[in-house]
Structure 1
Amino acid sequence: MKTIHFLFKDKNKTPWISLGILLFLFLVPVSSYSQTEAESKEVEISVEEIKEKPDYSSLPKNPRKATILSAILPGAGQVYNNKAWKAPLIYAGFMADIYFINFNNKRYQTFRTALFAFDDGDRSQFPSLNREALVRNVDYWRQNRDSTILLLLAIYALNLVDANVDAHLSGFDISDDIAMKIEPNVGTFAASGTSMGLTLKFQFK
């Protein structure tokens, strides 16, 4: 009786064991295939992410070189691009901005010192101003100084952008072979009248 019960249990387990083996054989190739496919996708993505360096050999001026020159010495990139007349403008902007940085900083330091003196009981520097007015002046001149410092950085950045753009445009054809003309144009607008206008013509010789 025990032997019959044991065989009956084995017969119940056999379908589950077979099903487990089939699932294992089915899932292993799928998982290996998905892993292989994922690796191939990673290789494709990594290949696509590799970007070629820009080729500036066809341009008379190298934008990278012009930008580096202007980064080392502002205006040098403009001289390299044969736009030396821009260099004095850049330095004039630097000099004017540095002047206003010093001016605003001096005013800031003056009112800051007066505010500290006011807190110590000395009101001789600006007798007509109370503490709130001194605080407003301190904040005002500090903001002006900080703004002019940011403007100095903007002038430097503009110097780099200008050198880079000029170098990119060095290959742009602006010779006499290209002409532009603006001529009057009279045409029929409707059956009852005519229209007047201007015609813009580009001529390539």
Structure 2
Amino acid sequence: MAQEEGPVSVFEPDSLSAEPPQNVKNPKKAVLLSLIVPGAGQVYNEKVWKLPLLYGGVATAVYFLEFNNRRYQEFLVALEIVREGTEPSPFPNLNEDGIIRNVNYWRRNRDAMYMVFGAIYALGAVDAFVDAHLSSFDVSDDLSIKLEPSVQPTLASNSAVGLAIKINF
């Protein structure tokens, strides 16, 4: 049996190419940059306007961290002086218990500022990650959602009233 030869068809490729958008950012790179240098992920994502917010938060956290640590060290030295009893107390209005309470208070505040600093640092990395993911998100005017009243016929020849959601994209 001989095989029949039929017409050969050639398909032309689609004229539209499925190229990704040009401004797609790599989220892993954005996070890595932001973890190495705070704010570098925002620069990579071309959101430079966020830098003053990030560095303002970091500077504020560092200032209060240093302030609380200085007060903690001051009361810690005062506690050592009071326990030795060789010199007059730098805080004559406070007894040993009052100084211990102040040592604990300023240590807690200092430790809390370490957590705030870490949270601001992590927030910068998370922001860079999310911003890189959303860099190719379409926010053109073609996206819309409408909520309209709707009347639907039912089988019992009654009408049902409701809301219709129309999404255009």
TM range (shorter): 0.7 to 0.9
1:85 aligns to what SS in structure 2?
A: helix
Structure 2 residue 47 is matched with structure 1 residue 70: no
Structure 2 residue 77 is matched with structure 1 residue 118: no
Offset at residue 65 of structure 1 (A): 1.6
TM-score by length of 1: 0.61
Structure of larger gyration radius? 1
| Matched residues, number | 143
Gaps of 5+ in 1: 1-56, 189-193
Offset at residue 77 of structure 1 (A): 1.1
Which structure's relative contact order is higher, taking Cα pairs within 8 Å and 6+ residues apart?
2
Aligned to 2:43: 79
1:202 aligns to what SS in structure 2?
A: strand
Alignment partner for residue 91 of structure 1, among 32, 50, 55?
A: 55
Offset at residue 82 of structure 1 (A): 2.1
Question: Aligned AA for 1:107?
Answer: R
1:117 aligns to what SS in structure 2?
A: helix
Separation in 2, partners of 1:195, 1:178 = 29
Offset at residue 104 of structure 1 (A): 0.2
Structure 2 residue 107 is matched with structure 1 residue 142: yes
Offset at residue 102 of structure 1 (A): 0.8
Separation in 2, partners of 1:120, 1:92 = 42
Structure 1 stretches of at least 4 aligned residues deviating more than 4 Å after TM superposition: 194-200
Instruction: Please give the per-residue CA displacement for 1:134-154, whole angstroms capped at 9, x wherever unaligned.
Output: 111101101111121122122
Separation in 1, partners of 2:66, 2:133 = 36
Question: Aligned AA for 2:135?
Answer: S
Superposition RMSD on alpha carbons, in Å? 2.6
Offset at residue 187 of structure 1 (A): 5.8
Aligned to 1:179: 144
Pairing 1:1-205 to 2, within 5 Å after superposition: 58=20, 60-121=24-85, 122-183=87-148, 185=149, 200-204=165-169
* Higher share in helix: 1
Gaps of 5+ in 2: 1-18, 153-158
Identity %: 52
TM-score by length of 2: 0.73
